[in-house]
Amino acid sequence: MATPIEDLVTILPCSWPGEKLPVMPGELRHFAPQGLGLDVGLVVRPWDDPSGPSPSRFYGLDEPSADPFAAAPTAEASGGTAYFDSGPSPEHLKALLSLLGTHLSLKQYAVFMVYSANPIRQGYIRQMRIVSFFALKSLFGVDAIEGPHQLPEQEFDVEALLAAFIADDEWRWGERKDHEEGQNLGFGYTIENTYQCVYRIWSRVWPAGVEPQP
């Protein structure tokens, strides 16, 4: 039996921090955009054209896109979404996470989790969002380091947490008897924001419908 995620980290309720924010970090229907997301003031250097673009434009958020080329982060080399089968070797998993720009040793993060009521229709069994304290403050406006919403540093780093999620869901899948013959377990992993360290992992069922067509 794998160690349940709930025994490794504190899962925050989706309503955390308990007050209404413009975007709740536990609202998993939406994905954070890429980009540095830094609130940099207007920068105008002596030699700049005052009516021209300010360098501060480099520090904003990227416009989301469904086009695989345009969806790449403009101010980061790494990111993206990977789908993979259950049972990845630790070496392959670490290679994937590293290549996509995951901050593997991060311990200052919050965790949110949602279970699907209909895994086939919704495309996931359960999903887990990892949000760094930095992103909580910078993207969502919640200070998790100081003040009333302070959170403790996690005992497990992001690499260990993601590996534990996979192991836990593989064990759960083996225990489940409600899936049909031929259905298998797989995973999805996406870097919502590379710089701010916002990550999402989910378990899913495949095959889950008809094959894609050109």
Q: Which residues bind another protein (CB under 8 A)?
A: 31, 36, 43, 45, 53, 55, 58-59, 64-86, 88, 91-93, 95-96, 98-101, 122-124, 127, 184, 186, 188, 190, 200, 202, 204, 206-214
Q: Least Å distance between CB 69 and another protein? A: 4
**Residue 156 vs 206, nearer CB to another protein:** 206
Residue that the structure tokens 């970090």 belong to: 25
Tokens of 128: 């887990």
Run of H or E including 122: helix 119-122
Q: Least Å distance between CB 49 and another protein? A: 11
The answer to whether 103 and 195 are in contact (CB under 8 A) is: no
**Residue 56 vs 156, nearer CB to another protein:** 56
Report the distance separating Cα 122 and Cα 204, nearest Å. Answer: 9
Report the distance separating Cα 167 and Cα 163, nearest Å. Answer: 6
Cα radius of gyration (the chain)? 19
Report the distance separating Cα 201 and Cα 182, nearest Å. Answer: 23
Q: Least Å distance between CB 149 and another protein? A: 28
Tokens of 130: 């990892």
**Residue 94 vs 149, nearer CB to another protein:** 94
Q: Least Å distance between CB 143 and another protein? A: 24
DSSP of 1-18: -PPPHHHHSPEEPTTTTS
**Residue 1 vs 66, nearer CB to another protein:** 66
**Residue 151 vs 158, nearer CB to another protein:** 158
Q: Least Å distance between CB 67 and another protein? A: 5
